[in-house]
Structure 1
Amino acid sequence: MSRFSITIGNNVFPSKTAALKFYKQIFDKYSFGESLNDEDAKHIISLAFKDTGSSDEVDEFAEGVVSGLGIFPDELNENKILNVMVVRHPEFRTTKCFCFVGQLDGEKHEQLFSYRMAISGVPSDLRYFSSVCRFSVRKRTRNFKIEQFKNRPVQCAVSGNIVEWEECQVDHKAPLTFSVIVKAFIAANDLDVSSIDYAFENSMGVFSDPALTEKFDEFHKKMAVLRIISINENLKLSSSARVKPTRKDGTLNN
């Protein structure tokens, strides 16, 4: 067995990529408000509880949960999963999410579940900080996209092909990519991203200090050069722009 394999219930995947592909296929089968069938629900439950026991124990637990889906418990204080379904994200209304629906402490409870995070793990401090930065300027980038589409047709800035709204994204033109802007902001303000405090807004992470949000918004406004490019071109640029560190890399300490 490869040391890069990942076991989830009674399934063994050769890599995280293979596991992500498997769960995405389940994800893509359902529309908003649809409940998962028993087999797919078992896979999602196994993933959510993969670290609670051995693979056989997790598989047995998932089987037991699935057999009781839709059956309300006799005891009001009994905690139980009642359904596994796909719902709309509370903030991004066109985005789908897995959701566990159950009874918790006598009340109905809904919990969103990210299969990607369950497989790939919790993001690093820098990655989470970057995601919060991106969320803090979402309205500005969306307004840019709206403005571009006021004068159709819209061309991809890289390929020159005509693109529709759902076929394109707002890109930060190199060399001032979004990652570069975030790292420049961290350096300019001498921030320790491991000690940043966060809060939650509609289940999305935000900075606890509103002043930090405003400061990044202004920094981003001055630095960013935005353009519209197709999703395919954006994926190509993202992969080619990654620069891996080497042993010869160094920093200036004084």
Structure 2
Amino acid sequence: MRKSIKIGQKVFKFKKDALAYYKAILNSYNFGESLNDSDYEAIVDLLSYDYFNSLAADEASEEENRELLEMDENNADENQESISIIDVQVARVQFNTKCFEVFFNDDTSEYISYIILINNKKYDPEKLFYTACRNSVHLDIHLVKQGYFDSYSVKGQVKCQETGILSKWTELVVDHRQPNTFSIIVDRFKEVKNTDLETIEYASNDQNQIIFKDDNLTQSFKAYHKSKANLRVVRKECNSSRIAMARVKKTAKDLTIK
């Protein structure tokens, strides 16, 4: 029997109904407009839906669900400096199309696709591990970007290291240079540590992010990533793939985690 989809308090009988609901929200705004309160909450619920379905068992009881939510609320109260969403806007992306852009209180933002989030199936061991690795180095990546701005910012703008275009914070992302893309770093780490993905345990932090339950594993990946990552601060629209690039040595322009 086909299961209904519950996102926040809203229940959709079919996936297509959920897709139509979020498409209607997206198309009701012009580029650069912030969502109203109810639509904002719908997007926040959608982001929570993505993480919750990756962590909770398919047949989790209501009591288990309630315990998870209470744990998240308690952790948020204990950490007043946690990263949180402050705004959601409709952004202009490639080919003049629309997408949601989520802004956080640490001056970062992220494009999201409601289609990907709704279609996202339960995380498999590979995807869980990759996501936990990504979340392990989130702060390190943020500090690299902050350090670049602290060193080179002129009136709130720095040069994109790919194009040389002066850009604002929200127009830039931190990119891993090939050949050591983030995916490659994760794969090599698994090989070096001879990791059995089936035995890894996960938890949820106070930002409702997937993290390793074992902090030693988190610290081990952070150290490995620090030793391998060659980073650049580039504009979001830059094509970060460099398929034809062979293995390269670190250059003076590469940014490293301090």
If the length of structure 1 is used for normalisation, what is the TM-score? 0.54
Shift of 1:146: 0.6
Secondary structure class of the residue paired with 1:171: strand
Shift of 1:214: 0.6
Q: 1:93 aligns with which of 77, 80, 85?
A: 85
Equivalent residues of 2:15, 2:118 under 8 A apart: no
Equivalent residues of 1:155, 1:162 under 8 A apart: yes
Q: 1:155 aligns with which of 143, 153, 159?
A: 159
Shift of 1:121: 1.6
Provide the C-alpha distance between the structure 2 equivalents of 1:156 and 1:180, rounded to a whole number of angstroms. 24
Structure 2 residue 183 is the aligned partner of structure 1 residue 179: yes
Matched positions, count: 166
**Compared with structure 1, are the counterparts of its residues 152 and 219 closer, same or farther at alpha carbon in structure 2 (3 Å cutoff)?**
same
Shift of 1:120: 2.4
Write the mapping of 1:74-93 to structure 2, written as runs, cut at 5 A. Answer: 91-93=83-85
Provide the C-alpha distance between the structure 2 equivalents of 1:120 and 1:205, rounded to a whole number of angstroms. 15
More contact order relative to length (CA 8 Å, sep ≥ 6): 2
Shift of 1:10: 7.1
1:203-228: CA deviation from partner (whole Å, max 9, x where unpaired): 21111111000100100111111110
Provide the C-alpha distance between the structure 2 equivalents of 1:197 and 1:185, rounded to a whole number of angstroms. 17
Shift of 1:126: 1.4
Pick the structure with greater CA Rg: 1
Provide the C-alpha distance between the structure 1 equivalents of 2:25 and 2:233, rounded to a whole number of angstroms. 27
1:140-186: CA deviation from partner (whole Å, max 9, x where unpaired): 11111011111224222222212110001011111101110000000
1:93-126: CA deviation from partner (whole Å, max 9, x where unpaired): 3465xxxxxxxxxxxxxxxxx8743322223321
**Compared with structure 1, are the counterparts of its residues 223 and 94 closer, same or farther at alpha carbon in structure 2 (3 Å cutoff)?**
farther
**Compared with structure 1, are the counterparts of its residues 11 and 124 closer, same or farther at alpha carbon in structure 2 (3 Å cutoff)?**
closer
Equivalent residues of 1:23, 1:115 under 8 A apart: no
Provide the C-alpha distance between the structure 1 equivalents of 2:24 and 2:199, rounded to a whole number of angstroms. 33
Map of 1:247 onto structure 2 = none
Tell me whether 19-28 or 168-177 shows the greater mean CA deviation.
19-28
Runs of 4+ in 1 over 4 A off after TM superposition: 8-13, 18-21, 26-33
Map of 1:224 onto structure 2 = 229
Amino acid at match of 1:164: K
**Compared with structure 1, are the counterparts of its residues 22 and 224 closer, same or farther at alpha carbon in structure 2 (3 Å cutoff)?**
same
Provide the C-alpha distance between the structure 2 equivalents of 1:36 and 1:20, rounded to a whole number of angstroms. 10
Map of 1:121 onto structure 2 = 121
**Compared with structure 1, are the counterparts of its residues 94 and 122 closer, same or farther at alpha carbon in structure 2 (3 Å cutoff)?**
farther
Shift of 1:27: 9.5
Structure 2 residue 214 is the aligned partner of structure 1 residue 209: yes
Amino acid at match of 1:148: Y
Secondary structure class of the residue paired with 1:232: coil
**Compared with structure 1, are the counterparts of its residues 190 and 24 closer, same or farther at alpha carbon in structure 2 (3 Å cutoff)?**
farther
Q: CA RMSD in A?
A: 3.9
Q: Which structure 2 residue ranges, 5 or more long, are not aligned?
A: 1-11, 50-81, 89-113, 244-258
Shift of 1:133: 0.8
Provide the C-alpha distance between the structure 2 equivalents of 1:224 and 1:171, rounded to a whole number of angstroms. 9
Provide the C-alpha distance between the structure 2 equivalents of 1:10 and 1:208, rounded to a whole number of angstroms. 34
Map of 1:131 onto structure 2 = 131
Map of 1:35 onto structure 2 = 38
Provide the C-alpha distance between the structure 2 equivalents of 1:224 and 1:147, rounded to a whole number of angstroms. 16
Q: Which structure 1 residue ranges, 5 or more long, are not aligned?
A: 1-7, 49-89, 97-113, 242-254
Map of 1:143 onto structure 2 = 143
If the length of structure 2 is used for normalisation, what is the TM-score? 0.53
